[in-house]
Structure 1
Amino acid sequence: MDHPPVLMYSKRSCPFCVRAKALLQSKGVEFEEIDLIIEPERRDEMIRRAGARTVPQIFIGDQPIGGYDELSALERDGRLDQLLAA
């Protein structure tokens, strides 16, 4: 892995989570996924870290990115690669 760690809080039934994973995978980005269906006790951790209750919540390094809309906006603007290269 030659990018900062990427972490995603998700739920398998969430279509935005599926899209976010597909975007990261299409770029060859390795990421850790915390599925809140499997680990519901981590929901409070996500809320505390992200300041949000919805999934997905994505972090690159320690930086909260937000959800799929924010991730895809970074990709559209060409800024996602910059964050991944940091």
Structure 2
Amino acid sequence: MPKVVVYSSKLCGFCYRAKGLLSSKGVAFEEINVDMKPQVRAEMRSRAGGVNTVPQIFIDDIHVGGCDDLYALDSAGKLDPLLAAG
């Protein structure tokens, strides 16, 4: 299984949707909350190429993007191979 990291916020509906999709696939992930943590948000922004919105999802250091990007990968049949590659 690859290492999956989700940067998120407690008040973010898109974060809950993304985590729900990953959970439904049986994927264990590390959740990093950015609420009230400017240094953590800056780390996320740096890893995500300047993107400041949550969630930001990484699979084995590959920046997947946000919730819509994760669902688009799944719809295209590309998410499962990424998750199986680790």
Residue in structure 1 matched with residue 14 of structure 2 by the alignment = 16
CA-to-aligned-CA distance 1:1-29 (integer Å, 9 cap, x gap): xx110000000100100100100000000
Distance in 2 between the 1:39 and 1:78 partners? 35
Aligned residues: 84
Q: Which runs of 5 or more structure 1 residues have no equivalent in the other structure?
A: none
Residue in structure 1 matched with residue 79 of structure 2 by the alignment = 80
Distance in 2 between the 1:71 and 1:85 partners? 15
How far has the Cα of 1:37 moved from its partner? Answer: 1.4
For normalisation by structure 2, the TM-score amounts to 0.93
How far has the Cα of 1:66 moved from its partner? Answer: 0.2
Root mean square deviation, CA, Å: 1.0
How far has the Cα of 1:85 moved from its partner? Answer: 1.1
For normalisation by structure 1, the TM-score amounts to 0.93
Larger mean CA deviation between 20-29 and 35-44 belongs to 35-44
Q: Which runs of 5 or more structure 2 residues have no equivalent in the other structure?
A: none
Identity %: 57
Distance in 1 between the 2:83 and 2:25 partners? 10
Query: Which stretches of structure 1, 4 residues or more, deviate above 2 A after TM superposition?
Result: 38-41
Distance in 1 between the 2:36 and 2:57 partners? 17
Residue in structure 1 matched with residue 43 of structure 2 by the alignment = 45
Distance in 2 between the 1:19 and 1:70 partners? 12
